[in-house]
Chain A
Amino acid sequence: KAGVTQTPRYLIKTRGQQVTLSCSPISGHRSVSWYQQTPGQGLQFLFEYFSETQRNKGNFPGRFSGRQFSNSRSEMNVSTLELGDSALYLCASSVDRGGYGYTFGSGTRLTVV
Chain B
Amino acid sequence: AQKITQTQPGMFVQEKEAVTLDCTYDTSDPSYGLFWYKQPSSGEMIFLIYQGSYDQQNATEGRYSLNFQKARKSANLVISASQLGDSAMYFCAMSPMDSSYKLIFGSGTRLLVRP
Residue of A nearest to B44 (CB): A106
Are A45 and B102 interface neighbours, CB within 8 A?
yes
Task: Tell me if B95 is interfacial: C-beta within 8 Å of chain A.
Answer: yes
Chain A residues in 8 Å Cβ range of B100? 56
Max count, chain A CB within 10 A of own CB: residue among B35, B101, B106: B101
Question: Bound complex: CA of A108 vs CA of B45, how far in Å?
Answer: 12
Question: Bound complex: CA of A106 vs CA of B40, how far in Å?
Answer: 10
Question: Bound complex: CA of A102 vs CA of B102, how far in Å?
Answer: 10
Interface size on A, residues (CB 8 A): 25
Chain A residues in 8 Å Cβ range of B35? 102
| Residues 36-50 of B contacting A (Cβ, < 8 Å) | 37, 42-47, 50
Are A90 and B102 interface neighbours, CB within 8 A?
no
Interchain CB contact (< 8 A) of A99 among B45, B97, B108: B97
Are B103 and A45 interface neighbours, CB within 8 A?
yes
Task: Tell me if B91 is interfacial: C-beta within 8 Å of chain A.
Answer: yes
Max count, chain A CB within 10 A of own CB: residue among B43, B50, B99, B107: B43
Are B105 and A56 interface neighbours, CB within 8 A?
no
Q: How many interface residues does chain B have, given as a range? A: 20 to 34
Are A107 and B43 interface neighbours, CB within 8 A?
yes
Are A104 and B44 interface neighbours, CB within 8 A?
yes
Chain A residues in 8 Å Cβ range of B106? 42
Question: Bound complex: CA of A48 vs CA of B103, how far in Å?
Answer: 10
Could you mark each residue 54-75 of chain A with 1 if its beta carbon is under 8 Å from any beta carbon of chain B, else 0?
0110100000000000000000
| Residues 65-115 of B contacting A (Cβ, < 8 Å) | 91, 93, 95, 97, 99-108
Interchain CB contact (< 8 A) of B104 among A31, A45, A105, A109: A45
For the complex formed, measure the closest distance between the CB of B104 and the CB atoms of chain A, giving whole angstroms: 7
Given contacts A55-B99, A97-B97, A102-B103, 4 further A-B contacts (CB under 8 A): A35-B103, A88-B43, A90-B45, A104-B45
Residue contacts A-B, CB under 8 angstroms, 20 given: A31-B101, A33-B103, A42-B105, A42-B107, A43-B103, A43-B105, A48-B101, A48-B102, A56-B99, A58-B102, A88-B43, A92-B45, A98-B95, A98-B102, A102-B103, A104-B37, A104-B44, A106-B42, A106-B44, A109-B43
